[in-house]
Chain A
Amino acid sequence: MRPRLVLFLVGALGGILLLAWGLWGLPGFGHYRGPYGNQINARAAKERHSSSAVAPVVFDYRGFDTVGEELILFAAVMGVIVLLRAQREEHEEPARLRTEELSFRVSESSRVVALALIPPTVVLGLYVVVHGHLSPGGGFQGGVALAAAGVLLYLAGEYLSFQRVYPVALLDLGEAGGAGGFIVIGLVGLFTGAAYLSNVFPLGITGTLFSAGTIPVINVFVGVEVAVGIVFMVYEFVEQTLLVRRRSS
């Protein structure tokens, strides 16, 4: 036997044994032993008037953590956009070429299916964003669903309407406003004398749309940020793949 194979077998055997040993000590499947989840389940609805226990953890109790996550997404989107902008040795093709090149690629059936899917996707996205404090979902999930509606528009071959529906100035504004809004809501807590991101808005009646204080407001901002960020990224990718060519020297 080759020495490499022997080395692998010894390592694999050791790895399997260690893994088995580690798995042996785990609690049984479905037996939750941490105290934190039970505490949240018992308190979240009473303290924050939110019928979803996840939303208060993400946007309230641990809200500062989520600000960081939101800014990571913001930085990632900005980084991709900066990298994808037309470079010095590249150039953009004129608009006339764009329509000619794009019109023949998409089949009639995928156009119909993609266009028909857009309205329900938008409604679903909006629903998931604004009901984040009532049922599973929230700004992140709903935001990506909204962005998927934008991608469908592109899949339908409507690249030029894609540009018309999302002018770059509006994308810029949405991206910055979404990320900034979250931080501003946090500052409101500071101005009232409480801690950053304290839930200072009126809590309302549990289970209604206008309840849970700052949580639904933050969800809307996050929804805008995520939806715009992903559409922006896809938009820049599309620009790059379809329109930007290397300068023929």
Chain B
Amino acid sequence: MTAAVQAVSMLAVGVLGALVVLTRRPENQAMVFSMYGLALTVLFLVLQAPDVALSELVVGAVAYPVMIFLTLAKVRRREE
């Protein structure tokens, strides 16, 4: 059972990681990256590293995408 959960979460990390690379538009990429962060969080939790999981959750799924969006908004504004 544990092995199956571990395998599924590792597979999810692999698939979402590839999707992050394959997504071309930065806005979409930030959203996909957020999902990737969530998948990593689950993996860390499954591998019994709750401290790392918490950090990954707040940084990967929340803080990082917000920063990307704000940076994009700023860069776009300057280009206008």
Contact = CB atoms under 8 A, between A and B. Distances in A.
A148 B62 contact: yes
Interface in B36-80: 50-51, 53-55, 58-59, 62-63, 66-67, 70-71, 73-74, 77-78
A144 B71 contact: no
A230 B70 contact: no
Contacts of B54: 128, 136-137, 141
A151 interface: yes
Interface of B: 50-51, 53-55, 58-59, 62-63, 66-67, 70-71, 73-74, 77-78
Given A136-B53, A148-B62, 14 more contacts: A128-B54, A141-B51, A144-B58, A144-B59, A151-B62, A234-B66, A234-B67, A237-B67, A237-B70, A237-B71, A238-B70, A240-B74, A241-B70, A241-B77
Name A's interface SS: helix
- Interface of B, secondary structure class, is helix
A234 B66 CA distance: 8
Contacts, number: 45
B43 to A, nearest CB: 13
What is the size category of the interface that chain A forms with chain B? 20 to 34
Interface of A: 52, 54, 128, 136-138, 140-141, 144-145, 147-148, 151, 230, 233-234, 237-238, 240-241, 246
23 contacts: A52-B51, A54-B51, A128-B54, A136-B50, A136-B51, A137-B50, A140-B55, A141-B51, A141-B54, A141-B55, A144-B58, A145-B58, A148-B62, A148-B63, A151-B62, A230-B63, A237-B74, A238-B70, A240-B74, A241-B70, A241-B73, A241-B74, A241-B77
